[in-house]
Amino acid sequence: MKVTRELFDEVMAPNYNPAKMIPVRGVGSRVWDQNGEEYIDLAGGIAVNALGHCHPALVTALKEQSEKLWHLSNVFTNEPALRLAKKLTDLTFADRVYFCNSGAEANEAALKLARRWALDHYGEDKNQIIAFKQGFHGRTFFTVTVGGQPAYSDGFGPKPGAIDHVAYNDLDALKAIMSDKTCAVMMEPLQGEGGIISPTDEFIKGVRELCDKHNALLIFDEVQAGVGRTGHLYAYMGLGVAPDILTTAKALGGGFPVGAMLATADVAASLKVGTHGSTYGGNPLACAVAEAAIDTINTPEVLEGVKQREALFRKGLQAINEKYDVFSEVRGKGLLLGAALNEKYQGRSRDFLVAAADHKLMCLVAGVNVVRFAPSLIISEEDIAEGLARFEKAVAQVVNG
């Protein structure tokens, strides 16, 4: 059977509109399509392929585990899941881990846990969840409602209640609606889909203090910002604030679907037997690959390398901007960066994305005004230079019409 882009329109639900080309192979930060055309990947599957495509350590872990054990129900545990959980608790603030398949599922678990914890300790009136405008936490009905972008949650009927939103980095707005009825505040320690927005020191510390004051849990959604993306294993480690619950996915499996919710022992105790579950959560294949990803990423070489590569990207984007004057600023941290378009190019981020594809470059957007880059954490200097050279051609194409 000949597989073409047209087949997508015949057999797939129309909620995606993928590019015309179909990638078939990837190595490192290079990808080839059906016609053998080579692309530079500065998208990383939306911050997923943290070690690029087909990293030997991940391939080896997957091959070895595939010959041992593929799946068990959670009537049983398994060695890869326990090894990964032990590493995650040893390396973070957390004492307990819950495994699932995706960031949305990790966030769903976190929100359910927060509500159950509040009910157990304070009663049914303590149920308010506060999140932030332009935030993104997944596409389940609960997580998409907590996410602060109504365009994603409108049109599906009545939404879950007791959820409020305030502006990110506005501590006074948060203070105004928090009370002892607040059970949790959920936030990204670096907003991704909302435009690559970093928190101020005052804001992030103030949120923690308000949660402590009102006996509310602080949930960090590190689905996109975690696993080395900011130059720390988890972003909170560079902010001087620890959450009560943290969610992680995307880069955790380096491309293999896996997610996790991390929590302190006291909080996790409310997730008693039978309160939540996942058929594939803790899958041996996924956990074996994730353990290899954590072992590879959590090294001084890789984490320091992220900061060095950030500097190269910033320098290259600055040079492009000095020539074409299209960006107002470059936002973000580590290798989660956003080139924010200036007033002349408002609303046109997708034009840059499409032009980049014309020049064999894979990048992303974060809303209509930001071009986003989330490449492999170990992308070579050569691929950074070549990728930015192709991006410059894309910028020229947009500017010159």
Residues designated as active site? 136, 221, 250
Of 130, 367, 84, the C-alpha closest to 227 is: 84
Q: Which two tokens stand for residue 295?
A: 């072992």
Residue 382 annotated as lining a ligand binding site = no
Cβ-Cβ contacts under 8 Å for 161 (sequence gap 6 or more): none
97 is in an annotated binding site: no
> Is 176 part of any known ligand binding site?
no
Taken in order 14, 15, 20, 22, is the CA torsion positive or negative? negative
Nearest of 382, 376, 299 to residue 334 by alpha carbon: 376
> Where does residue 285 rank: exposed (0-12), middle (13-18), buried (19+ CB within 10 A)?
buried
- DSSP designation for 28: B
* 278 appears as a binding residue in the annotation: yes
Contact between 84 and 290 under an 8 Å Cβ cutoff? The reply is: yes
Give phi and psi for 209, each to the nearest 5.
Answer: -65, -40
Q: Does 9 count as an annotated binding residue?
A: no
Q: What are phi and psi of 182, to 5 degrees?
A: -75, 125
Query: Annotation-wise, does 224 bind a ligand?
Result: yes
Other CB atoms within 10 A of residue 161 CB: 9
Residue 350 phi/psi, 5° resolution? -65, -30
**106 CB contacts (<8 Å, ≥6 apart)?**
98, 100, 223, 247, 248, 249, 259, 260, 261
Residue 65: partners with Cβ closer than 8 Å, 6 or more residues away: 80, 284, 285, 288, 289
Q: Is 299 annotated as a binding residue?
A: no
- Whether 309 and 384 have beta carbons less than 8 Å apart is answered as yes
Query: Is residue 139 marked as binding?
Result: yes
Q: Is 90 annotated as a binding residue?
A: no
R_g of the chain, CA atoms, integer Å? 21
Contacts of 345 (CB under 8 A, 6+ apart): 326, 351, 398
Q: Is 313 annotated as a binding residue?
A: no
Report which secondary-structure segment, H or E, holds 365: strand 364-365
**Under 8 Å between Cβ of 137 and 149:** no
Tokens of 127: 């149920």
Residues of each annotated binding site for pyridoxal 5'-phosphate = 103-104, 136, 221-224, 279
Residues of each annotated binding site = 103-104, 136, 139, 221-224, 278-279
Residues of each annotated binding site for N(2)-acetyl-L-ornithine = 139, 278
